Structure 1
Amino acid sequence: MDIDSLIDALIEREGGYADHPADRGGPTRFGITETVARANGYDGAMRHLPRDTAAAIYRRLYWTRPRFDAVGERAPSIAAELFDTGANMGPKVAAAFLQRALNALNRGARDYADIAVDGRIGPATLAALDGFLRRRGRTGETVLLKAIEALQGERYLRLAESRPANEAFLYGWLANRVG
């Protein structure tokens, strides 16, 4: 799966304009919040945010900048999950899920060294991913994906428990984002 397909699927899933009263992000279009749109040079009405502007933001902020593209060269299904999770929770959160899962799956640092959980994909994280994939192969990619999705689901539950207004979104998050 390439980034264009991932962006198309995400935009389709996010839909058009929304301004849900319980959403702290305020008005969105194609899943892009007004704050993110403004920070990236868009100054028009959110109802009219062009699709190609949203796609460019997704590519830059949620694929290239967090280095999910480098993950995709090694483990495409992991990169796709990180992209989707990053678009919904922030790239640092998604990257931290990967780092936590890699640390938990390294068998006490016997397969590769523990890495810092800093939410940044750098040489150490990529080396750990390479070590994991060398040790566990493609079936390992499936297990790593499950671990990341478990962390994601737990975070959604915690968000709903800590802020009752988020319960309005929990079903959709679990149905459309996890698994």
Structure 2
Amino acid sequence: MSIESMIEATIGKEGRYSDHPSDRGGKTMWGIIERVARKHGYRGDMRELPRDTAVAIYRQEYAIEPGFAAVARISPVIGEELFDTGVNMGPSVPALWFQQWLNALNRRGRDYPDIAEDGDIGPVTLAAYRAFIGKRGRGGESVMLKGLNCSQGARYLDLARNRQPNEDFVFGWLANRVGVA
């Protein structure tokens, strides 16, 4: 799956403008929160954020910089899952889960060495994932996806338990984000 396909799928889930009172992200257009839009130089009204600006932000902030595009070149379904979750929770969260699951799935280092769990998907993490897929095949991809979805669901539960206004979003998060990549 290409970066553009990942972006299109996520924009389809995110929709257009939102400023829900329970959402700490505040004003959001195309799934891009105001803080991130400003970081990338957008100064206008969030209701007017051009779609092509949102696409450029998605490409850089949520696909290339966190390494999800590189993962997608190895495994499109996992790259898309990391990307979509990164848009929803921030890229560092699924990047860390990916590394944690790689370590948990390496059979105590017999398949490949443990890697740093630092949220940085670079050459070492990518090599570990290649080794994992080399050992486990596409069945490993399915298991990785299940692991990531388990972590994601647990995070949504924690978010709702620790901040009641997040309950406004749990049904949609589970319906539209977990297990749909």
Tell whether the structures are fold-level matches, with TM greater than 0.5: yes
Name the counterpart of 1:129.
129
Deviations 1:109-166 (A, max 9, x none): 1111111111110121111101101100111111111101111111111001000010
Deviations 1:92-117 (A, max 9, x none): 11111100111111111111111111
Deviations 1:30-70 (A, max 9, x none): 11001111111101000000000000000000001111111
Question: What is the CA–CA distance in structure 2 between the aligned matches of 1:117 and 1:90, rounded to whole Å?
Answer: 16
Does residue 36 of the first structure (1) align with residue 29 of the second (2)?
Answer: no
Size of the aligned set, in residue pairs, is 179
Does residue 65 of the first structure (1) align with residue 83 of the second (2)?
Answer: no
- Over aligned residues, Cα RMSD in angstroms? 0.7
What amino acid does structure 1 have at the position aligned with 2:40?
N
TM-score normalized by the length of structure 1 = 0.98
What amino acid does structure 2 have at the position aligned with 1:3?
I
Name the counterpart of 1:78.
78
Question: What is the CA–CA distance in structure 2 between the aligned matches of 1:69 and 1:6, rounded to whole Å?
Answer: 9
Question: What is the CA–CA distance in structure 2 between the aligned matches of 1:139 and 1:95, rounded to whole Å?
Answer: 21
Alignment of 1:1-179 (within 5 A): 1-179=1-179
Kindly state the Cα deviation for residue 8 of structure 1 after the two structures are TM-superposed: 1.1
Question: What is the CA–CA distance in structure 2 between the aligned matches of 1:146 and 1:80, rounded to whole Å?
Answer: 14
Question: What is the CA–CA distance in structure 1 between the aligned matches of 2:88 and 2:7, rounded to whole Å?
Answer: 13
Name structure 2 gaps, 5 residues minimum: none
Q: Secondary structure at the match of 1:17?
A: coil
Name structure 1 gaps, 5 residues minimum: none
Question: What is the CA–CA distance in structure 2 between the aligned matches of 1:72 and 1:24, rounded to whole Å?
Answer: 29
Kindly state the Cα deviation for residue 167 of structure 1 after the two structures are TM-superposed: 0.3
Kindly state the Cα deviation for residue 3 of structure 1 after the two structures are TM-superposed: 1.3
Question: What is the CA–CA distance in structure 1 between the aligned matches of 2:77 and 2:8, rounded to whole Å?
Answer: 16
Question: What is the CA–CA distance in structure 2 between the aligned matches of 1:14 and 1:73, rounded to whole Å?
Answer: 24
Question: What is the CA–CA distance in structure 1 between the aligned matches of 2:130 and 2:7, rounded to whole Å?
Answer: 25
Using the aligned pairs only, state the percent identity.
60
Q: Secondary structure at the match of 2:106?
A: coil
Show structure 1 runs of 4+ deviating over 2 A.
Answer: none
